[in-house]
Structure 1
Amino acid sequence: MQEVFNVTSLLFLLLITTGEAIRCFQCSSGQDAEGEDTCGAYKKFDKTRHIAVDCNSEESHMPGSFCMKVTQQGPMGFVWDARWRQVIRRCASVAELGVTGVCNWGVYENGDYWEECYCIEDECNSSTRIGSNLILTFTLLLLSYLILH
């Protein structure tokens, strides 16, 4: 009986993997110096200017098991019209809808657009688009605006 217990214990220990924590970029365009855009609010995010952090380390501002990118943008106009935009990249522990690999979006009452994207691969929040289609998103946003007004 002891041998069965030992074999079972050994198999159980072999099945347990010591998971490595995910590595995500963390920055906020709100913390950029005047005239700088290191977090990718207006320009393409430059991975060479940042080091991804282990989400369960002391370097991480927030512990987590996946990455997140939040984009907020002022109302109306086009991307090139210099309206206000902010990007936040960080680790996350809870996705609002409980899924990763997708983006959730909406419009605040003041007209500001927001988008939260979640992903579960190392450095995946460096992407400009994580899981949504820009044309589809803005088409749905425009339709929502036209229906509500």
Structure 2
Amino acid sequence: MSINPDLQGRSYPAAEVYDVGREKIREFAHAVKASNPAHFDVEAAKALGHSDLVAPPTFAIIVAQRADAQLVQDPESGIDFSRVVHADQRFTHHRAIVAGDRLVAELHVDGVRAMGGGAMITTRSEISTEEGEKVATTTSSILVRGEGQ
């Protein structure tokens, strides 16, 4: 099955809420070898003016990938996840992600470009709180390899 070119311009609504917890922040910070004390110690985060632990900047990928899953699982997309290669990821933060945030992400397919037997797909996740406060925007590009590639 080939990639559906009509994906471009499609949006997927925010799905389930992601609860940002202290332990999730600490685990992620350890995994990415972050060293800022504000990722581990509440008092250090508060000393910097935050209400609670601060997530490393790339923590937004957790919420964004949940939104990306809607596209990959859409039977109309033509995406075979076993053929996906992650090509690019960018983050724009509107404010820090902190423990206690309840986040949702709306996914937008900004581009679909045929490449040989495959396609490059660019998506944008608009991450916000349940109340609608903008938190981050992530932009991702994936290459879906064609058959025989």
Q: TM-score, length-normalised on structure 2?
A: 0.27
Comparing both chains, which one has the higher relative contact order based on Cα–Cα distances under 8 Å and sequence gaps of 6 or more? Answer: 2
Q: Which has the higher strand share?
A: 2
Q: Which has the larger radius of gyration?
A: 1
Q: TM-score, length-normalised on structure 1?
A: 0.27
